[in-house]
Amino acid sequence: MNEFLESLARAFARNRDTLPRFTAAVALLVTLALGWEGARLFRRRRARLTLAREVARQHGLSKSDLLLAERLARSASTELVGFLTRLEVFERTTADALVRREEGGESLNRRIRRLRSLLGFDPPPSHMPLLSTRELALGTAIEVGSQVGITAEIDEGSFSVSLREPIVLSKGAEVSLALVHGREARYALRCAVLSTGATEHGWILVLAHDEAPERIQMREYVRIPMKGPILLRKVVSGLASSVETRAAYGALLDVSGGGARLTSGLLLPVGQELKVSFAVAESHFAELRAVVLSCSPTEQGAYQAQLEFRGLREGERARLVSALARFESSQNSDRVT
């Protein structure tokens, strides 16, 4: 028994002698692993930062613009490259900054609006969901009660709607609005009133932004990108009859069973009635009645307008939808081959 106890004591003594060396070895391995992981994360962050700065350079951001972008992204714990390239990240991050008011309100509004423009988010593509009313384009039709107005001014802090008739609303009241966003969907808005007042041409309503517009209706018809001429004839409605003025041509951008988008040299007032004629492949459509939903200037000096067909007979609408489906199918077949 004594011999057994002595051998056990000797074994523990040997283990005690080797324990410091074993502990040191483990500590060294842990240190090396942590160092390797730290170096990997550093290289990854550096690569992402290099990519972000290259994106900033390609979009023409100044040093001041990039510093602002870095600060906004850091404050919201957002990756800089995501802020510069993804609209939803940009909107979430800038909305947080505007609420916090990290610097003078007007200054921050202008600087974020500049970033939005440089990064190509002003306005976003018409097929993308509306994430904030800060994305609205000038000349967008807005339903305010029984009236239809148009957006007249937009910045990061507010937007204004031009109306023909006065509307009585107290400052701070919440007003319900509605709009059709591009070719994507219909939205309901809830915005606080900042001010109202008379103008030379009617009434102006200044509103705070809605950072979470409610999507209430998908488009009934899919818009198909299309090029080709479209004949536009204005219709002036009178008490006894409707008079058609001289026709003009525009260029189609897309068409659906519910409307069309086009460019032309004409500034078409929102609400203007038109008769339009165009062709989809071999199918011709003459004098379809339409109304202007929006019209805004382009960088090329022309105007881009969005039309909605009105009073279209079901047979004619079905013929249009069918022609568009055939056209899209032929385009897809050409791309495949």
Tens of pLDDT, residues 104-146? 567 899 999 999 999 988 877 665 778 899 999 898 899 998 8
Residues 6+ away with beta carbon under 8 Å from 201: 162
Residue 301 gets the label, from left (phi > 0), alpha (psi -120 to 50) or beta, of left
Q: Has residue 315 got a pLDDT over 90? A: no
Residue where the block lists tokens 């950072």: 211
Q: Which residue, 208, 160, 155, 151, is CA-closest to 179?
A: 151
Q: Has residue 337 got a pLDDT over 50? A: no
Q: What pLDDT is recorded for position 44?
A: 66
Third-level CATH fold of 133-218: Pnp Oxidase; Chain A (2.30.110)
Q: Has residue 222 got a pLDDT over 60? A: yes
Residue where the block lists tokens 């500049």: 114
At residue 241 the predicted structure's pLDDT band, cuts being 50, 70 and 90, is very low
Segment 46-55 mean pLDDT: 80
At residue 242 the predicted structure's pLDDT band, cuts being 50, 70 and 90, is low
Q: Has residue 67 got a pLDDT over 50? A: yes
Query: E strands, 155-272, where?
Result: 158-163, 174-181, 185-199, 202-208, 214-218, 224-225, 229-237, 242-255, 259-264
CATH 2.40.10.220 fits 224-336, yes or no: yes
CATH 2.40.10.220 intervals, the chain? 224-336
CATH 2.30.110 intervals, the chain? 133-218
Q: What pLDDT is recorded for position 303?
A: 92
Q: Has residue 18 got a pLDDT over 90? A: no
Q: Where is mean pLDDT largest: 11-15, 41-45, 296-300, 327-331?
A: 296-300
